[in-house]
């Protein structure tokens, strides 16, 4: 069965039924079916909102990813943005553009993945849009809430801050390259958005700046530094990598350090904390996940100052 055999309103009804099965209605006043969804934050909270699109042949290929995994991923990468703000999810919107010839079973699986991922992170599907297009794209918008004045911003790093990350780096890039070399199976990775860690960091006295790492550790560090008007002294050897990573890279002839620093799609949090904040072991307990210190925030040098790396350190 193809989408064209279903029609717009039955399609919306179909998605709405799947969404209702997954609904957690803590923050949902009104879900799919009206002109807008209604969500409720707690008193004293601001609303955080972000959107991201996955486009066929740009961000995914049907032959290299399971449709259900695609649906999960589409939501997870957006939730990672909420995590980087320290926000908790209230709900999400799904704007689908797809050719009329798309198989209904494929869309059903995408929606199933989206709803399942939403259930996992208390982020119900509350609205969206469906339209015809030449290529498939999934545009997800997530709405969240965060206590006023506690949101984690990119522009809050200060010289003297310790620079930290959650989790490990390079695994996603390694899996992607392995699959592209034809040595791996279809992509099965769904990033784990660090929602609990972000929320805990937002509550922490001594939190600095925060960003989630999607473009690669060095690239997103650059975004954080630019927004904050500072530089960083980074110890690349400290960037945590998965177990067995060096050996796996060697088998494929890949440089493990480059992959960890530039690979991208890690969806870990990169953040700074003030000098007086708890030490790394205590931070890891508070955030509920592995935390590693990888450098320090330093003052920005003047325009034109050399960006040369000191021994063992890369400067930005």
Contact 259, 174 (CB under 8 A): yes
HSE-CB of 226 using CA atoms within 13 angstroms: 6
CA distance 65 to 263: 19
If one asks whether residue 46 binds its own copies (CB under 8 A), the answer comes out as: yes
The DSSP output letter for 196 is: H
Contact 214, 282 (CB under 8 A): no
If one asks whether residue 26 binds its own copies (CB under 8 A), the answer comes out as: no
Q: Give whichever of 99 and 290 is closer to its own copies, judged by the CB atom.
A: 99
Other Cβ atoms closer than 10 A to 233: 17
Site for its own copies in 121-150 (CB under 8 A): 126-129, 131-135, 137, 139, 141-144, 146, 148
Residues 6+ apart with CB under 8 A from 74: 52, 54, 94, 110, 113, 114, 138, 140
Smallest gap from Cβ 154 to its own copies, in A, equals 5
Site string for its own copies, 57-76 (x = CB under 8 A): xxx-----------------
Angle between helices 171-180 and 245-252 (to 10 degrees): 30
Q: Give whichever of 59 and 189 is closer to its own copies, judged by the CB atom.
A: 59
Q: Give whichever of 125 and 249 is closer to its own copies, judged by the CB atom.
A: 125
Site for its own copies in 226-265 (CB under 8 A): 227
If one asks whether residue 179 binds its own copies (CB under 8 A), the answer comes out as: no
The contact set with its own copies (CB under 8 A) reads: 29-30, 33-41, 43, 46-53, 55, 57-59, 81-82, 84-85, 87, 90-91, 93, 95, 97, 126-129, 131-135, 137, 139, 141-144, 146, 148, 151, 153-155, 211-212, 227
């Amino acid at each position: 069965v193809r989408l064209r055999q279903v029609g717009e309103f039955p399609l919306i009804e179909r998605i709405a039924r799947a969404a209702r099965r997954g609904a957690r209605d803590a923050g949902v006043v009104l879900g799919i079916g009206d002109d807008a969804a209604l969500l409720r934050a707690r008193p004293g909270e601001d609303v955080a909102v972000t959107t991201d699109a996955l486009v066929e042949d740009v961000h995914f290929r049907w032959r290299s990813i399971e449709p259900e995994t695609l649906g999960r991923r589409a939501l997870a990468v957006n939730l990672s943005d909420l995590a980087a703000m320290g926000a908790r999810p209230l709900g999400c919107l799904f704007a689908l553009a797809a050719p009329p010839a798309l198989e209904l079973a494929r869309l059903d699986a995408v929606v199933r993945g989206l709803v399942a991922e939403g259930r996992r992170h208390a982020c119900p599907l509350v609205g969206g849009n469906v339209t015809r297009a030449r290529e498939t794209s999934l545009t997800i918008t997530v709405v969240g809430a965060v206590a006023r004045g506690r949101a984690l911003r990119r522009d809050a790093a200060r010289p003297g801050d310790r620079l930290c990350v959650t989790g490990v780096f390079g695994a996603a890039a390694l899996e992607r390259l392995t699959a592209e070399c034809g040595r791996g199976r279809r992509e099965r990775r769904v990033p784990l958005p660090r929602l609990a860690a972000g929320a805990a960091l937002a509550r922490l006295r001594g939190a600095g700046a925060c960003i989630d790492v999607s473009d690669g550790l060095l690239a997103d560090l650059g975004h954080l530094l630019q927004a904050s008007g500072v530089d960083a002294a980074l110890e690349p050897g400290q960037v945590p990598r998965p177990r067995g990573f060096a050996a796996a890279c060697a088998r494929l002839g890949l440089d493990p350090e480059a992959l960890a620093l530039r690979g991208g799609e890690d969806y870990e949090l990169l953040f700074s904390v003030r000098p007086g904040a708890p030490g790394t072991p205590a931070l890891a307990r508070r955030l509920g996940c592995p935390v590693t210190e990888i450098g320090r925030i330093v003052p920005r040098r003047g325009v034109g100052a050399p960006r040369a790396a000191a021994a063992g350190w890369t400067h930005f």
